[in-house]
């Protein structure tokens, strides 16, 4: 499937009816955390003189870091010293956790889509490349600890995103079928993982511009969970599934 932005996009999920489950990424998908990650990377890389001391730009962050597993980020930033790279990314995650308490906000419309999922009794899991302390902290701050029935982490799988394994493990954890499940994602690596796992992916432009997300072939691209395009798709899926909210 490829992304559609016109009126014909309403039917992009109809093939999975009746819907059984929804899988969510965390960073940039349920919360607008990318600006906090970018700020932490920018400050810490400048401190060690990376790029001649010139702060990394938002474009650099989007193209090279956003959505990637820390092992891959460590290899990119410190190609000759992987251990130093891992230490750096661990320290950066600790800085992120210090910053996140006051600044983390849910993506617009999250409560609305949460209610849609709960009202239909759908299974749900979080699938993320974030380390466990980050994932649990963000889920807690957002009040989603009781919402997610499982949390799957890339670094607890043999392969992280963009490999499909984390999403396939998410299905296993909640005993759902990929034929009746769809995914919310915001990064190229995450979309690729979902598509490779055989599920339609709805991509959010919270952290990445539409033209970059398009390369990973999501089924639909939306601005946030308030986007009318999303609700046209979910309404059509309800009709096809023969379901509606409580």
Which helix (H) or strand (E) segment holds residue 166: the answer is helix 165-174
Give me the torsion for CA of 24, 27, 30, 32, rounded to 10°.
-160
Kindly list the catalytic residues: 25, 27
Q: Which of 16, 27, 11, 15 is nearest to 190 (CA)?
A: 27
Q: Are strands 181-185 and 201-204 parallel, antiparallel or unpaired?
A: parallel
Strand order in the sheet with 181-185: 151-153, 123-128, 21-24, 181-185, 201-204, 220-222
Residue 115, C-beta contacts closer than 8 angstroms, at least 6 positions apart: 245
User: What Cα–Cα distance (Å) separates residue 2 from each residue in 35, 199, 201, 219?
Assistant: 28, 12, 9, 5
């Amino acid at each position: 499937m490829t992304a559609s932005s016109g009126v014909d996009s309403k039917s992009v999920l109809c093939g999975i009816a009746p819907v059984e489950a929804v899988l969510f990424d965390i960073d940039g998908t349920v919360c607008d955390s990318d600006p906090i990650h970018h700020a932490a990377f920018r400050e810490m890389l400048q401190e060690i003189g990376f790029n001649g001391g010139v702060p990394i730009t938002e474009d650099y962050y989007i193209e090279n870091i956003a959505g990637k597993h820390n092992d891959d980020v460590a290899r990119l930033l410190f190609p000759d010293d992987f251990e130093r790279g891992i230490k750096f990314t661990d320290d950066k995650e600790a800085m992120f956790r210090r910053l996140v308490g006051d600044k983390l906000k849910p993506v617009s419309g999250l409560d609305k889509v949460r209610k849609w999922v709960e009202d239909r009794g759908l299974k749900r899991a979080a699938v993320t490349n974030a380390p466990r302390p980050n994932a649990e902290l963000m889920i807690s701050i957002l009040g989603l600890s009781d919402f997610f029935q499982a949390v799957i982490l890339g670094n607890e799988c043999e392969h992280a995103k963009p490999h499909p394994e984390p999403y396939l493990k998410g299905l296993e954890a909640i005993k759902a079928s990929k034929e009746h499940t769809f995914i919310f994602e915001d990064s190229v690596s995450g979309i690729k993982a979902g598509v490779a796992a055989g599920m339609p992916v709805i991509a959010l432009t919270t952290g990445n511009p539409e033209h970059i997300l398009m390369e990973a072939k999501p089924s639909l691209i939306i601005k946030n969970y308030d986007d009318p395009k999303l609700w046209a798709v979910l309404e059509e899926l309800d009709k096809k599934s023969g379901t509606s909210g409580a």
